[in-house]
Chain A
Amino acid sequence: MRGPGKMKPSGRISRRSALAGIAAAVLVRPGSARADAPLSFGLTPVLLDSDIALLDLMQAYLQEALGRPVSLVKRRTYQEITALLLTGELDAAWICGFPFIQHWDRLSLISVPLYHGKPLYQSYIIVPKDRSVTDWHDLRGDVHAFSDPDSNSGHLVTWALLAGAQETPQGFFRQTFYTYGHRNVVRAVASGLAQSGSVDGYVWDVISHRDPQLASQTKVLRRSEWLGFPPVAHLKTDRDSAKIAQLATALQSAATSEKGRALLAMLELDGFAPEPASLFDPIAAKYALVKSREG
């Protein structure tokens, strides 16, 4: 299994790297020199969708901790946020492990959330509550909901599972579609639009606490192995940026302030910790597996 450090960059990534380098040289560097320059922080739908209270709290905490304005940037897809990050329009972003390993050569980890004390989470395959299936093999011919093409838990894990069984999503399932949000996967399965779905285990757990009526309409059919939690990353070129250092400190010391604790409580996380890139090697392995099957 090759880890992120061992993977060769793809051509697409190289082009993006070039663009990001130009952007970083033109936009980011001059801005980062200023002590009160705003921090742009990208959020992917790894988190809960449209949780305004969460966004407000996160912005408030980061502004307080960083002592500078913080603008939170949300987009519908992982790809959009990743592109913004790679082009230097974002200082940092909370992305998924899958984009991280896709762009490992250009991205560095700032912090990884701790869920139940560990920087790990699972991917779930969920089905409607009243559906009588016991094994993922029974899902053949389903309409299956994925979260995002660039989501680890909402796409890659199931993709890799099928690849391991010499299957592809298009061949195994009758129909697949992307909901561009883990919560939407739960909604799709709960409403019957999809007969099964791939979802972030952390998000499903949080929904089961926050919106038990929705989560209770589904059940977990399969839990994946523990994988690296979606990290907060930045361009490697910003390694020495004061804003990045401040952000890392702010995230990792969140538990020390009231707003930080409130934020962690709302996120149902224990904190943030610096982790090595090798944490995402298993995800890289899955990506390598599906690529090898397709190639």
Chain B
Amino acid sequence: MRRLRRLWSRIPLTVQAPLLAALLTVIFAVAISQVVLSRLAREQTLALRNLSSAFMDGLTTAVTPGLLTQDVWETFDSLDRARQQYGAVNARYMVVLLPDGRVLAGSAPDRFPVRSLLGEDLQELVAQGKPLVIDETVGKAWLVRGVEQEGFRIGTVLAELDISGLLAVRREILWTLIAVNCGLTVLFSFASYYLVQRLVRPLSIVQRRLADASEGRLELIDATTIAGSSPEYRRLFKQFNRMVEAHIDREVLAAELANQEQLAMLGRLASGMAHEVNNPLGGLMNAVDTMDVHGDNQDVRQRTIDLLRRGLAGIQHVVRAALVTYKTSHKTRLLTRLDLEDLPFLIQHEVGMKHLALSWRNNLPDEISIDASSIRQIALNLLLNACAASPERGNVHFSASLEGGMLSLTVANEGPELPEAALMAVRAGAAGDAAPSGHGLGLWTASRLAAKLNGDLKLRSPASGGALAEFSAPVTKEILDAVA
């Protein structure tokens, strides 16, 4: 049953409806035919009963004089005349029997010779005395009527009627019904196919629009189509258009938000870089002033130049780190030990703001078969998160190592335990879910990148307090290919 239902659900609606229409028509036709034929059979039987009764009335009246005198000829002549007179009854034969069951005369003397006895089957029929016996299988009916005179049975009249004509009429009606019903079934099937096709045509418009939407092409249904549709479809089209408009609005808003976010990020980056550049810039300006005043002094000049060199080197570090971090490249680059070495410069601002102590241990080899950009982003996000979570003058620990083909990064900080939001962000990133609103974007990004590298990012709060982030990922050639 379930299989049938599944099979049925796979059939298109435009085929289901004609099939149902045909099925219903067939059921209806069978029911109607049954009613018509049974009614016809009843009417025919009733008509036959009435006709045969009238026929036997006339026949018995006609043969009574002959029976009374047992006159063979007169009886035969009466039967012969009755056969011509009651041609519509279609009597195959009529027999007049004497009280002892012998034939006085029959309309078919060859079959019923004078003074002969009837066959056993007919004798039984006469003995039953039923006025009308119908056997549709052979298309015959038998009439039996006793002839009485002054209360005495003087004989019996037996007649066999050919009712094949009645049955032929019934068969003809049956075939007519079958033909008409077949015609109606086909007609209704085609009509329902046509109608359903017309009815579901508007749905195909929605279907096409949705298919286009899945490929990124969102289009409204035009006003002409809507105006030419039925009220139901008009509502559907309007709802679809409202949905499309809402989606477009959301996309526009999202694009705007992304743009704003980008601008904000750009602002933050610019601000950070300005801050990092500004710090040495004050010293550089002082150095330039010193050079301007005491430039002729060898020692002063040399110290000032060293100061300028260190200041410019600091700026160079900041700029290079920014370049490495934000420069987009379509080519996967392998991680080098130095890729992580400039990260302290990127968090220098956060570290300096809170006067944090950064403990840095980088035990990686010169080159590792893993995507440099992803690892740098993971490490930077974890470091920024640790700096943000650390209290003033707290300690932040960073370590990177490669053991057994696994790259491990560990970032620890002092301070409060991990908030639930941080853990949720990591879980969402690992599961591929959308980024949580508010805080935790950095952790979500790190978790997502870790999953992309087939790696694992775990956050926990050690007993000693603070938070510990542990990232590990396999280092293989295939991973590199996958990331690419």
A residues near B, CB below 8 A?
143, 145, 174-175, 177-180, 184, 187-188, 191-194
Mark the stretch among B73-81, B129-137, B424-432, B471-479 that contacts chain A. B73-81
Is B105 among interface residues, defined by CB-CB distance under 8 A? yes
A178 touches B73 (CB 8 A): yes
A177 touches B77 (CB 8 A): no
B109 touches A193 (CB 8 A): yes
B114 partner residues in chain A, CB cutoff 8 A: 143, 175, 177, 193-194
Q: Which of B73, B76, B80, B108 has the most CB of A within 10 A?
A: B73
Task: State the CA gap A212–B304 with chains docked (Å).
Answer: 162
Task: State the CA gap A175–B70 with chains docked (Å).
Answer: 12
Q: Which of A174, A177, A180 has the most CB of B within 10 A?
A: A177
B115 partner residues in chain A, CB cutoff 8 A: 143, 174-175
Task: State the CA gap A174–B102 with chains docked (Å).
Answer: 14
A188 touches B73 (CB 8 A): yes
Identify 26 residue pairs between A and B in the complex whose beta-carbon atoms are under 8 Å apart, listed by A's number.
Answer: A143-B114, A143-B115, A174-B115, A175-B72, A175-B114, A175-B115, A177-B73, A177-B114, A178-B71, A179-B77, A180-B73, A184-B73, A184-B77, A187-B80, A188-B73, A188-B76, A191-B76, A191-B109, A192-B110, A192-B113, A193-B72, A193-B73, A193-B76, A193-B109, A193-B114, A194-B109
Task: State the CA gap A116–B77 with chains docked (Å).
Answer: 32
Interface string of B397-424 (1 = CB under 8 A from A): 0000000000000000000000000000
A187 partner residues in chain B, CB cutoff 8 A: 80
Identify the closest chain A residue to B77 (Cβ): A184
Given contact pairs A143-B115, A191-B80, A193-B105, A177 touches B110 in the complex (Cβ within 8 A): no
A191 partner residues in chain B, CB cutoff 8 A: 76, 80, 109
- Known contacts A145-B73, A174-B115; 7 further A-B pairs (Cβ under 8 A): A143-B72, A175-B115, A177-B71, A191-B76, A193-B73, A193-B105, A193-B114
B113 partner residues in chain A, CB cutoff 8 A: 143, 192
Cβ distance A145 to chain B, nearest Cβ, rounded Å: 7
Identify the closest chain A residue to B111 (Cβ): A192
Cβ distance B119 to chain A, nearest Cβ, rounded Å: 17
Task: State the CA gap A178–B76 with chains docked (Å).
Answer: 12
Identify the closest chain B residue to A178 (Cβ): B73
Task: State the CA gap A236–B32 with chains docked (Å).
Answer: 83
Cβ distance A198 to chain B, nearest Cβ, rounded Å: 13
Cβ distance A251 to chain B, nearest Cβ, rounded Å: 31
B77 partner residues in chain A, CB cutoff 8 A: 179, 184
Task: State the CA gap A180–B114 with chains docked (Å).
Answer: 18
B residues near A, CB below 8 A?
71-73, 76-77, 80, 105, 108-110, 113-115
Cβ distance A77 to chain B, nearest Cβ, rounded Å: 12
A145 partner residues in chain B, CB cutoff 8 A: 73
Cβ distance B111 to chain A, nearest Cβ, rounded Å: 9
6 closest A-B pairs by beta carbon, nearest first, are A177-B72, A192-B109, A193-B109, A179-B73, A192-B110, A143-B114
Task: State the CA gap A193–B114 with chains docked (Å).
Answer: 7
Cβ distance A266 to chain B, nearest Cβ, rounded Å: 24
Identify the closest chain A residue to B72 (Cβ): A177
Task: State the CA gap A90–B209 with chains docked (Å).
Answer: 115
A194 partner residues in chain B, CB cutoff 8 A: 109, 114
Identify the closest chain A residue to B116 (Cβ): A143
Cβ distance B77 to chain A, nearest Cβ, rounded Å: 7
A188 partner residues in chain B, CB cutoff 8 A: 73, 76
B76 partner residues in chain A, CB cutoff 8 A: 188, 191, 193
Cβ distance A257 to chain B, nearest Cβ, rounded Å: 37
Task: State the CA gap A191–B114 with chains docked (Å).
Answer: 12
B109 partner residues in chain A, CB cutoff 8 A: 191-194
Cβ distance B129 to chain A, nearest Cβ, rounded Å: 27
A178 partner residues in chain B, CB cutoff 8 A: 71, 73
Task: State the CA gap A184–B66 with chains docked (Å).
Answer: 15
Task: State the CA gap A27–B273 with chains docked (Å).
Answer: 168
Task: State the CA gap A188–B114 with chains docked (Å).
Answer: 11
Cβ distance A132 to chain B, nearest Cβ, rounded Å: 16
Cβ distance A192 to chain B, nearest Cβ, rounded Å: 4
B80 partner residues in chain A, CB cutoff 8 A: 187, 191
Task: State the CA gap A128–B77 with chains docked (Å).
Answer: 18
B72 partner residues in chain A, CB cutoff 8 A: 143, 175, 177, 193
Task: State the CA gap A179–B71 with chains docked (Å).
Answer: 9
Identify the closest chain A residue to B104 (Cβ): A177
Cβ distance A214 to chain B, nearest Cβ, rounded Å: 12
Cβ distance A134 to chain B, nearest Cβ, rounded Å: 22
Q: Which of A145, A184, A193 has the most CB of B within 10 A?
A: A193
Cβ distance A144 to chain B, nearest Cβ, rounded Å: 10
Cβ distance A172 to chain B, nearest Cβ, rounded Å: 15
Cβ distance A7 to chain B, nearest Cβ, rounded Å: 31
Cβ distance B71 to chain A, nearest Cβ, rounded Å: 7
Identify the closest chain A residue to B76 (Cβ): A193
Task: State the CA gap A271–B82 with chains docked (Å).
Answer: 39
Cβ distance A185 to chain B, nearest Cβ, rounded Å: 9
Cβ distance B425 to chain A, nearest Cβ, rounded Å: 116
B73 partner residues in chain A, CB cutoff 8 A: 145, 177-180, 184, 188, 193
Cβ distance B98 to chain A, nearest Cβ, rounded Å: 12
Task: State the CA gap A192–B76 with chains docked (Å).
Answer: 11
